[in-house]
Structure 1
Amino acid sequence: MLIGLCGGICAGKHAIAEYLIQHQGFQLVELRNKSYHRLADDPDDDRRLQAPDIRGQDNPQSSELRAFEDLDSLLDFVTKRWKERWVTMDIWEAATLDRFLQRPSFLLVSVDAPVSLRWKRFADRCRRRQLDPPALEKFVLWNDRHLYDRDIGRAYLADRAQVRLFNSSSSLEELHAALGGLNLADDQRLRPGWDQYFMQLASLAAQRSNCMKRRVGCVLVRERRVISTGYNGTPRHLTNCNEGGCPRCNRGEGGGAGLSTCLCIHAEENALLEAGRERIREGSVLYCDT
């Protein structure tokens, strides 16, 4: 398993990586040359933005670093060792993320926190390094470039994360408790179980619904094979409900009112009609998202 962490300045990526390393047996992998994913217009004191070394003297329990010259080498290494646990923070733009997401053992986790709290964390880091903290306005400008730069803005990566964590507490203990509850190392996060898989298909089918009242999707399954799918709306060859085909739905009737005038067919009905009696048979399972 390889977990990738992304997020804003001082959102908590390194605290999460350290937790994974110390408490869940992960090892850190990173790229040696990081110049390619820094912003071209970063200020001269860019060293302030560099994260604390989680392998430093203050963290003797941290595992040995695995550093690689390029992305291909890193991916080849962790792919051959996919049963082990790895964590990285070297994800800086969409093309790089695409490469990681091709690996079935990869999980992207985004971390965020209020900008005022992140500024306070950043100021504390500066003081520990005997540097003068920046003003809040200056930090906000750095933060905006870091998150919303057109080429490498981290905010665009967060939208693709499988897990999103809001680290809004100043307590490290609370963060650790939240991570313990999430159990990021659970293999189920990489590959959904059968029930989860079919329910996701039902939810996807619901996106095709044309009923004005609500979206519903359904999947019929036998022996873990999809027999048919269905979504609610007016019958075939009639005008779609959302185009005026069902007077009752378009009048906005309340729940339970005027049901005898409704032309829409339930998602379950459509799935059963599509499958037919011969294909359903004993042992079939119906998944519906309502």
Structure 2
Amino acid sequence: MKRPSWDEYFMTMTDCVGSRATCDKNGSGCVIVSDNRVIATGYTGSLSGLPHCDEVGHDIKLGQCQRTVHAEHNAITQALKFGISLNGATMYCKVKPCVACAKMANSLGVKRVVTE
């Protein structure tokens, strides 16, 4: 069995993290890594303390579920909440990040984004 590259290894983790998503319309996972060490993870879901789609249903407006935030947003805010710098980090995403999440990652120093 061939040993996976670091990119393959961390991309595999996005599946596991994404399995925690609480919105089946947009379920995804994100893993942020620095020096080949996981520093934050996030999945598509409601803000902490608010009801989840899988509990109370979707809140769809303009084709988007308003109840949830993206996996990338959750991973970034998780790092910030605990004072973890994203400067020079790599962000592994199940899907290509939206413009807002990409801008947020870039402004906080994420140097590389890897997607499937």
TM-score computed with the length of structure 2 as normaliser: 0.72
**2:44–2:71 CA contact under 8 A, matched in 1:** yes
SS in structure 2 of the partner of residue 279 of structure 1: coil
The separation in 2 between residues aligned to 1:268 and 1:195, in whole angstroms, is: 17
Instruction: Answer yes or no: is the 8 Å Cα contact 2:43–2:74 preserved in 1.
Output: yes
**Secondary structure of 2:40's aligned partner:** strand
Return the offset for 1:240.
Answer: 1.2
| Contiguous gaps of at least 5 residues in structure 1 | 1-106, 108-188
Alignment CA distance shift 1:233-1:197 (3 Å): same
Distance 1:281 1:267, change over 3 A: closer
Q: Structure 1 residues 236, 270: closer, same or farther in 2, change over 3 A?
A: same
Checking the alignment, whether the CA contact within 8 Å between 2:17 and 2:30 is kept in structure 1 is yes
Q: Report the count of equivalent residues.
A: 94
Which one has the bigger helix percentage?
1
Shift of 1:258: 4.8
Stretches of structure 2 that go unaligned for 5 or more consecutive residues are 96-116
1:247: how far off? 2.0
Runs of 4+ off more than 4 Å: none
Give me the whole-angstrom Cα distance separating, in 1, the residues matched to 2:57 and 2:70. Answer: 15
TM-score by length of 1: 0.30
Which protein has the bigger strand share? 2
| Alignment match of 1:269 (pick from 59, 69, 73) | 73
Report 1 or 2 for greater relative contact order, CA contacts < 8 Å, sequence distance ≥ 6.
Answer: 2
Distance in 2 separating the partners of 1:263 and 1:269 = 14
SS in 2 for 1:214: coil
Larger Rg: 1
> Which residue of the partner structure matches residue 29 of structure 1?
none
**Percent identity for Structure 1 against Structure 2:** 37
Amino acid at match of 1:200: T
Counterpart residue type for residue 78 of structure 2: E
CA–CA distance in structure 2, aligned partners of residues 242 and 281 of structure 1: 31
Show the 5 A alignment for 1:1-290: 107=1, 189=2, 191-244=3-56, 246-248=58-60, 257-259=62-64, 262-276=66-80, 278-290=83-95
